[in-house]
Chain A
């Protein structure tokens, strides 16, 4: 079966499901506003003391915040729900139901869940980015926009790959929920440009949990800091992450004995 058709079908089911609970839209909207408000307060405290932080001006950091929010929405609407379901399935033995279906198992387990209302964060993130852009008073060139979109897409794929690798560990170790807590904590580091962190942490945030590629690099594309070499490097890293994730997933799957249910 065509993987794109499969994904779209599940997407439709997810949307239909969530449409039953429309009040959740407003609750999600309120929550997004709360997180934007606390983010803005944090920024105003910082800029009450200094005019630039490690070379980033206030509107530029607002753009970083917008990208962080947007990517967070993508994680919570698509990546995290699917991976959490996979963890449950491995523990309960119900992964059998996915494995017996005539489609690639990795594709299937990656598209089954979709939290439509979480996309509110994506929209709010875009609004924050637009406001930042307005404040920067710079115009968005076509190459800049393409670079941003490419960086965003690659960042998303890398985050997905890391989540899949972490979740694949559940084939060996059952209690991995706490690892996803750890991941959430590390993702929060992306609220600020990666350059401010000490070397050891920056390395971890680049190669172990690619928050750098997911948030800072797209924000760099927006603020004219990105050159072709970094983009190319990000592309190479994306390929590596995808290959490693696929490998670990297949290795884990061969370790799955299933059917305890």
Chain B
């Protein structure tokens, strides 16, 4: 156990130091990312105003709050991409990582987790500017802040598991971009990234209850923006833990088969 803790601390420290150096590049990246929620926000604000102040139960201020918290949750959702897996397997880079006495996925989790600290720091001024422009309305309790602080890491871990599983398809075929795009399309609809899940048709909402996606987007955002009871908040965290646990199990299972498919090419 101790060697894992040491490994994580060291990798996170390296990634923090590395990413701090590129803070301008990181900022460009983050600003580029912010256009997406701003577009959704403007569209839904227009609709809410046309309907006399609210749409689907969200007021103009609540939409602003939803999409501003969205920007942080989206950044927490950035993990090692399936395209990275494709590159790693196609180019034979994985060989090097397999030599290490630790599962390669630990390296990904630790590196991006370290990066998150830099991202959160850089996000604060952006959130302040967005709040100044779009005037969100919040009604936040202490318990919500605590659960949110946990939920964004839960979201990070669930998405890491999902995208790693997706990336591992590359062990069998390297023509994966269409599969990846299909996945991202589904995720967009079923996670609450496009609109709050409550605006979706009822059948989409009930479908999303059986899938992991909404626990990576809608749930963490709603913790701060919505009005959940303490019981609802903590059962949400339990659901996240359940998905992380299942993710780890399935990942281990598939990895066993997948790694037998791997034949190094160069690297």
B182 touches A34 (CB 8 A): yes
How far, in whole Å, are A49 and B185 apart by their CA atoms in the complex? 22
User: In the complex, which of the residues B25, B36, B182, B189 contacts A188, with contact meaning CB atoms closer than 8 Å?
Assistant: B36
Whether, in the assembled complex, A191 has its beta carbon less than 8 Å from a beta carbon of chain B, the answer is yes
User: How far is the CB of A102 from the nearest CB of chain B, in Å?
Assistant: 37
The stretch that binds A, out of B6-14, B43-51, B259-267, is B43-51
How far, in whole Å, are A100 and B36 apart by their CA atoms in the complex? 42
Q: Which of A21-49 touch B at CB < 8 Å?
A: 23, 27, 30-31, 34-35, 37-38, 41-42, 45-46, 48-49
How far, in whole Å, are A186 and B51 apart by their CA atoms in the complex? 27
Number of A-B contacts (CB under 8 A): 90
B185 touches A38 (CB 8 A): yes
Whether, in the assembled complex, A104 has its beta carbon less than 8 Å from a beta carbon of chain B, the answer is no
Whether, in the assembled complex, B84 has its beta carbon less than 8 Å from a beta carbon of chain A, the answer is no
Q: Which of B168-223 touch A at CB < 8 Å?
A: 175, 177-178, 181-182, 185, 188-189, 194-195, 199-201
User: How far is the CB of A62 from the nearest CB of chain B, in Å?
Assistant: 15
Give the chain A neighbours of B32 by CB distance below 8 A: 178, 181-186
A38 touches B46 (CB 8 A): no
Give the chain B neighbours of A160 by CB distance below 8 A: none
Whether, in the assembled complex, A179 has its beta carbon less than 8 Å from a beta carbon of chain B, the answer is yes
Give the chain A neighbours of B177 by CB distance below 8 A: 27, 31
How far, in whole Å, are A179 and B28 apart by their CA atoms in the complex? 6
Give the chain B neighbours of A123 by CB distance below 8 A: none
Give the chain A neighbours of B257 by CB distance below 8 A: none
User: In the complex, which of the residues A27, A30, A188, A196 contacts B35, with contact meaning CB atoms closer than 8 Å?
Assistant: A188
In the complex, residue of chain B having the shortest beta-carbon distance to the beta carbon of A23: B175
Contact (A50, B50) CB under 8 Å given A23-B175, A27-B175, A31-B181: yes
A53 touches B28 (CB 8 A): no
User: How far is the CB of B147 from the nearest CB of chain A, in Å?
Assistant: 28
A192 touches B200 (CB 8 A): no
Whether, in the assembled complex, B254 has its beta carbon less than 8 Å from a beta carbon of chain A, the answer is no
Whether, in the assembled complex, B166 has its beta carbon less than 8 Å from a beta carbon of chain A, the answer is no
User: How far is the CB of A40 from the nearest CB of chain B, in Å?
Assistant: 11
B39 touches A189 (CB 8 A): yes
Contact (A181, B29) CB under 8 Å given A45-B200, A49-B55: yes
How far, in whole Å, are A42 and B40 apart by their CA atoms in the complex? 10
How far, in whole Å, are A201 and B42 apart by their CA atoms in the complex? 10
Whether, in the assembled complex, B149 has its beta carbon less than 8 Å from a beta carbon of chain A, the answer is no
User: How far is the CB of A189 from the nearest CB of chain B, in Å?
Assistant: 5
In the complex, residue of chain A having the shortest beta-carbon distance to the beta carbon of B194: A42
User: In the complex, which of the residues B29, B39, B46, B178 contacts A178, with contact meaning CB atoms closer than 8 Å?
Assistant: B29
A53 touches B181 (CB 8 A): no
Give the chain A neighbours of B46 by CB distance below 8 A: 53-54, 196
Give the chain A neighbours of B175 by CB distance below 8 A: 23, 27
Whether, in the assembled complex, A225 has its beta carbon less than 8 Å from a beta carbon of chain B, the answer is no
Give the chain A neighbours of B201 by CB distance below 8 A: 48
Whether, in the assembled complex, A197 has its beta carbon less than 8 Å from a beta carbon of chain B, the answer is yes
Mask of B44-84 contacts with A, CB within 8 angstroms, 1/0: 00110011000110000000000000000000000000000
In the complex, residue of chain B having the shortest beta-carbon distance to the beta carbon of A195: B46
In the complex, residue of chain B having the shortest beta-carbon distance to the beta carbon of A32: B181
Whether, in the assembled complex, A175 has its beta carbon less than 8 Å from a beta carbon of chain B, the answer is yes
Whether, in the assembled complex, B228 has its beta carbon less than 8 Å from a beta carbon of chain A, the answer is no
User: In the complex, which of the residues B38, B39, B43, B189 contacts A46, with contact meaning CB atoms closer than 8 Å?
Assistant: B43
Whether, in the assembled complex, B150 has its beta carbon less than 8 Å from a beta carbon of chain A, the answer is no
Whether, in the assembled complex, B33 has its beta carbon less than 8 Å from a beta carbon of chain A, the answer is yes
In the complex, residue of chain B having the shortest beta-carbon distance to the beta carbon of A34: B185
How far, in whole Å, are A189 and B200 apart by their CA atoms in the complex? 22
Mask of A191-207 contacts with B, CB within 8 angstroms, 1/0: 11000111001000000
Q: Which of A124-150 touch B at CB < 8 Å?
A: none
In the complex, residue of chain A having the shortest beta-carbon distance to the beta carbon of B55: A49
User: How far is the CB of A23 from the nearest CB of chain B, in Å?
Assistant: 7
Contact sample, A vs B, 16 pairs, CB 8 Å cutoff: A31-B181, A34-B181, A38-B189, A45-B200, A49-B51, A49-B55, A53-B46, A54-B46, A175-B22, A175-B25, A181-B32, A182-B35, A189-B35, A192-B42, A196-B43, A197-B42
Question: A48-B201, A49-B47 are known contacts; what are 10 more A-B pairs with Cβ within 8 Å?
Answer: A23-B175, A30-B181, A30-B182, A31-B181, A38-B185, A41-B189, A42-B194, A45-B200, A185-B32, A188-B35
Interface residues of A (CB under 8 A from B): 23, 27, 30-31, 34-35, 37-38, 41-42, 45-46, 48-50, 53-54, 175, 178-179, 181-186, 188-189, 191-192, 196-198, 201
